[in-house]
Amino acid sequence: MRSLPLPLALTARLAPVAVLACAGWVMSSGTDQEPVAKDKTPEKSGTQSESAPSATPEPKTYAGAPAPCDSVAEKTVTSLVPGVKAAGKEIPSTDTASRRTCSWNALKGYDYRWLDVAYEVMDSDAAAEKFYERRIEEKDGGGAVPGLGDAAYSVVNLTSEDDQKTREGTVVVLADNALVVITYNGSDFETKEAPSTDVINKGAIKAAKEAVAALEKSGS
């Protein structure tokens, strides 16, 4: 077979190289890449995003605390605190819309009694429940009072100072977004003794029932 002239043979050998080189240039250039769509919607920035709707406030059963000195019947007050003026005395508060307390105390002979009725109105049922749990944790050793509010707890403690004994009962009641707290105590300065647990406990629960009824009436 007759060999090709050198220039023609060289051209034949270099042709595939040239083709590959040309193909490599095409692949390395951007001319054969997929074009970017011109109608692509740009992503919203953080400033463009719509803010989430605010949560609807939880409706409150009680908007404020009732008058505490009118919360317990006069005959109840005079039976629990003999010799007292039934009007009672309201304790100054920095927020009378949500926190009010009335106090009665008297000494008849040597027999001393003290009664407090306090209301705490919270912004929500959950806040009141949390506060209720905290209060009963501080007053351990008591027990539940059935049929009173959403939940109720009663505890009686005996203290002694300079040989004088004092017995104090506390009832804490949870009612929707409010708390009712009753404090009732007594001492006998002649015998240095204190009223029985039963007397103090029953007296505190009686006052609590009337105070809760007054709260419910204020919210109706």
Residue 69's alpha-carbon distances to 72, 81, 215, in angstroms, are 7, 14, 12
pLDDT value at 201 more than 60: yes
Q: What pLDDT shows up at residue 57?
A: 62
pLDDT value at 31 more than 60: no
Q: Count other C-beta atoms under 10 Å from residue 108's C-beta.
A: 11
Q: What pLDDT shows up at residue 15?
A: 43
Tokens of 91: 């304790």
Mean pLDDT over the full length of the chain: 82
Residues 6+ away with beta carbon under 8 Å from 184? 80, 113, 114, 115, 116, 168, 169, 170, 200, 203, 204, 207
Contact status, residue 84 vs residue 77, Cβ threshold 8 Å: yes
State pTM to two decimals: 0.73
Contact status, residue 170 vs residue 183, Cβ threshold 8 Å: yes
Q: What pLDDT shows up at residue 216?
A: 96
Contact status, residue 111 vs residue 167, Cβ threshold 8 Å: no
Contact status, residue 165 vs residue 158, Cβ threshold 8 Å: yes
Over range 132-150, report the average pLDDT: 93
Q: What pLDDT shows up at residue 18?
A: 41
Q: Which residue has the tokens 């409706």?
A: 59
Q: What is the amino acid identity at position 112?
A: Y
Q: What pLDDT shows up at residue 58?
A: 67
Mean pLDDT: which of 6-20, 27-41, 80-94, 178-192 is highest?
Answer: 178-192
Decide if domain 68-219 falls under CATH 3.40.50: no
d(CA 59, CA 40): 46
pLDDT value at 19 more than 60: no
Q: What pLDDT shows up at residue 219?
A: 82
Q: What is the pLDDT of residues 43-82, one digit of tens each?
A: 444 444 444 445 566 678 999 999 999 999 999 999 999 9
* pLDDT higher at 134 or 32: 134
- The SS3 of residue 177 is coil
Domain limits of the chain?
Answer: 68-219
Q: What is the pLDDT of residues 99-116, one digit of tens each?
A: 999 999 999 999 999 999
Sign of CA dihedral 93, 96, 99, 104: positive
